[in-house]
Amino acid sequence: MKKLLVELGDRSYPIYIGSDLLSQSELFIKHIKSKQVVVVTNETIAPLYLNAVLKNLQGYTVETVILPDGEQFKTLDFVTQIFDKLLASKFSRNATLIALGGGVIGDMGGFAAACYQRGIPFLQIPTTLLAQVDSSVGGKTGVNHPLGKNMIGAFYQPQCVIADADVLDTLDDRQLAAGLAEVIKYGLIRDAEFFEWLENNIGALLARDKQALAYAIEQSCINKAEIVGEDETETGVRATLNLGHTFGHAIETGAGYGKYLHGEAVAIGTCQAADLSRRKGWLNDEDVARIIALFKKAKLPIVPPEQIDSDRFLELMAVDKKNVDGQIRLILLQKIGMATLPVDVDQDLLEMTLKTYGR
């Protein structure tokens, strides 16, 4: 087992990464400071892993909340079900919440923990690759609003993150690949050596080689923990985690809800960002070819959907959180392993990318 630390002063916490961690009671007990525990999970994950978690909680007063599975349930209404259970069970301010699931459950459970009686401790047990390398680390919690994704939320850090690579056995190939898009992102924005490792080991990752997966999760979490330690609330370097995401969000929205997984849209968006970085004179042709080749090998899409033309892209990209005074701002690449902070983009270069890359 590997143990990393997210360094945030008195809110610092460990990330445990390894195999067979769900059965290690001491990991759980160490981070639970009360007798009352609520486990939040969903209908898909409960039959697979809830019992393994509950086995560690003998002697505690345990309640469970099993939510329906899906991004469409990541709303205040369903977070209220968690509050209902906590209140009906008379759980007090030192009760602990355990979020067992992918990014949806992690974001909802974390947000419920941030709000219940103004904040109770919580543990993240991420069960998707995306959640293990990205969403469970860093304290962004929240839910969607009908008018915008992740628009209601809080920064609220967990007591620990327990990332057990064994649970990925039951994850389907498409979800695994989607998680790899965010893994590749860490290499691109700040870790050229890791990018090269990924080029050489992408086959092992797709074949679910346990050692390779544990290494990729560890390197991703090291990178994320360093960024979050430097910039918890995204006033600076944390924005680089958005590489490919402005294009990606436009693809997710423009193609219609549920057509692309987030990681798939980010893969395409990162290829577009790489193309634009080349037009800026930062990347060369070979860099761009390497980036596209790696996403392709990871079984991720690399070409934007035909139905979103350049005008529609511009329209969709105009509503991004990074924009200032209506100007589109993007994270681009100076080189492989080094991202820019948000930069204003010349409209004509952006249009060239939108009109020619993948068309």
Per CB under 6 A, residues contacting ligand NAD are 42, 44-45, 48, 69, 71, 74, 101-105, 107, 127-128, 130-131, 134-135, 138, 140, 150, 167, 170-171, 175, 262
Q: Which of 56, 144, 223, 242 is catalytic?
A: 242
Nearer to ligand NAD, 182 or 191 (CB): 182
Residues comprising the binding site for Zn(2+)? Answer: 182, 245, 262
C-beta of 346: minimal distance to ligand NAD in Å? 29
Q: If you write DSSP's letter for every residue of 145-161 in order, what string do you get?
A: ETTEEEEEEEE---SEE
Residues comprising the binding site? Answer: 69-74, 103-107, 127-128, 140, 149, 182, 245, 262
Q: If you write DSSP's letter for every residue of 291-336 in order, what string do you get?
A: HHHHHHHTT---S--TTS-HHHHHHHHTT-TT-BTTB-EE--EEET
- The amino acid that residue 206 corresponds to is L
Task: Give the residue carrying structure tokens 């007090």.
Answer: 92
Give me the residue whose beta carbon is nearest to ligand NAD.
103
Residues comprising the binding site for NAD(+)? Answer: 69-74, 103-107, 127-128, 140, 149
Bridge-based pairing of strands 122-126 and 160-164 is parallel
Nearer to ligand NAD, 86 or 137 (CB): 137
In the annotation, is 118 catalytic? yes
Q: Which of 185, 190, 262, 322 is catalytic?
A: 262
Q: Which of 245, 278, 322, 329 is catalytic?
A: 245
Q: Which of 140, 190, 278, 329 is catalytic?
A: 140
Tokens of 23: 């059965």
In the annotation, is 262 catalytic? yes
C-beta of 153: minimal distance to ligand NAD in Å? 8
In the annotation, is 182 catalytic? yes
- Helix locations, the chain, DSSP H: 25-30, 51-54, 76-88, 103-115, 129-130, 173-190, 192-206, 210-230, 245-255, 262-279, 285-297, 310-317, 347-356
The answer to whether residues 40 and 67 touch, using CB atoms and an 8 Å cutoff, is yes
Nearer to ligand NAD, 56 or 353 (CB): 56
Q: Which of 63, 218, 232, 234 is catalytic?
A: 234
C-beta of 314: minimal distance to ligand NAD in Å? 24
C-beta of 216: minimal distance to ligand NAD in Å? 16
Buried b (16+ CB within 10 A) or exposed e, 88-108: eeebeeebbbbbbbbbbbbbb
In the annotation, is 190 catalytic? no
In the annotation, is 224 catalytic? yes
Q: Which residues are catalytic?
A: 118, 140, 182, 224, 234, 238, 242, 245, 249, 262
